[in-house]
């Protein structure tokens, strides 16, 4: 795929690297006899969109949940903005916005009420009204969550993740279940995060999404990194991996 199609291409991953925002070394996490993460090491630099790609059950979500303090790793080290999220999860979460794959809100809660509830969790917040304007939700501020479309819900979750003015935003399977038009709209929103200087960690199982949005990525399978680099380099250097990956996910390539 031509990364310049349908929007702004990702920045090149081949230039000079910025300061590390997230550093993970030899991360390990198991659930009983099931090893979810088996020695993962990666680095996310300031200002980039970093992809964590892989099939369902590969260990992607567990990796990022350990990175933001939602799960405690069994081994290895994690540093986010210089902090240990296992030791000080609340301090990390004040500087990291999170949109998780299974995020839901009460069906009757309105957009405006959701913004007010989430804003109460932060010491200082971005103007909620300005965020609703920016993400195209102002006219839906009195709409109940249960009546929002899939794309509107995703925009709301991004707005909620940005309320605390985070330096890093984690987006987990952001476009799952969306129709093609809503996916493209959501991709535009992610590009807008880079424009405002936010570092993005994008968790996805979709190769086209990673190619369109990410500066760099890692491919995780069975809890291990099996490829990493700029999307075009990963695609070019790991053709056999790509074929196997597409077969696992059922992705079709035009």
DSSP result, 168-236: EEEEESTTTT--HHHHHHHHHHHHHHHHTT-EEEEEES-HHHHHHH-SEEEEEETTEEEEEE-HHHHHH
**Full domain range(s) for residue 83:** 19-95+168-176+201-249
Lowest-confidence pick of 53-67, 102-116, 144-158, 171-185: 171-185
Cβ neighbours for 136, distance < 8 A, ≥ 6 positions apart? 155
User: Average pLDDT for residues 153-175, to the nearest whole number?
Assistant: 89
> Are residues 201 and 23 in contact, defined by beta-carbon separation less than 8 angstroms?
no
Reference 35, options 68, 63, 55; nearest CA is 63
Is 229 a domain residue? yes
Is 4 a domain residue? no
Q: What is the CATH number of the domain that holds 233?
A: 3.40.50.300
Residue 211, pLDDT > 80, answer yes
Is 48 a domain residue? yes
Distance CA 46, CA 64 (A): 16
What is the share, in percent, of the chain residues with pLDDT greater than 90? 48
* Confidence at 31, pLDDT banded by 50, 70, 90: very high
- pTM summary value: 0.82
Is 237 a domain residue? yes
Distance CA 187, CA 229 (A): 20
Is 238 a domain residue? yes
């Amino acid at each position: 795929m031509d990364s310049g199609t349908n929007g702004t291409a990702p920045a090149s991953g081949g230039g000079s690297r910025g300061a590390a925002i997230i550093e993970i070394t030899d991360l390990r996490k198991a659930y009983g006899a099931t090893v979810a993460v088996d020695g993962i090491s990666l680095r996310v630099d300031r200002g980039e969109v970093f992809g964590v790609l892989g099939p369902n059950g590969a260990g992607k979500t567990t990796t990022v949940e350990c990175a933001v303090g939602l799960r405690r790793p069994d081994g290895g080290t994690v540093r986010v903005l210089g902090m240990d999220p296992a030791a000080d999860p609340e301090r990390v979460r004040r500087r990291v916005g999170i949109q998780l794959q299974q995020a839901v809100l009460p069906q009757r809660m309105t957009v405006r009420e959701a913004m007010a509830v989430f804003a109460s969790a932060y010491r200082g917040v971005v103007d909620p009204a300005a965020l609703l304007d920016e993400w195209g939700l102002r006219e839906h501020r009195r709409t109940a969550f249960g009546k929002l479309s899939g794309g509107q819900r995703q925009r709301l979750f991004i707005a909620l993740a940005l309320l605390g003015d985070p330096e890093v935003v984690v987006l987990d399977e952001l476009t799952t279940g969306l129709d093609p038009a809503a996916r493209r709209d959501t991709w535009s929103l992610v590009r807008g995060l880079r424009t405002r200087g936010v570092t993005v960690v994008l968790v996805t199982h979709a190769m086209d999404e990673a190619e369109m949005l990410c500066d760099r990525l890692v491919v995780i399978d069975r809890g291990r990194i099996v490829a990493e680099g700029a999307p075009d380099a990963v695609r070019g250097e790991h053709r056999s991996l790509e074929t196997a990956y597409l077969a696992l996910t059922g992705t079709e390539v035009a």
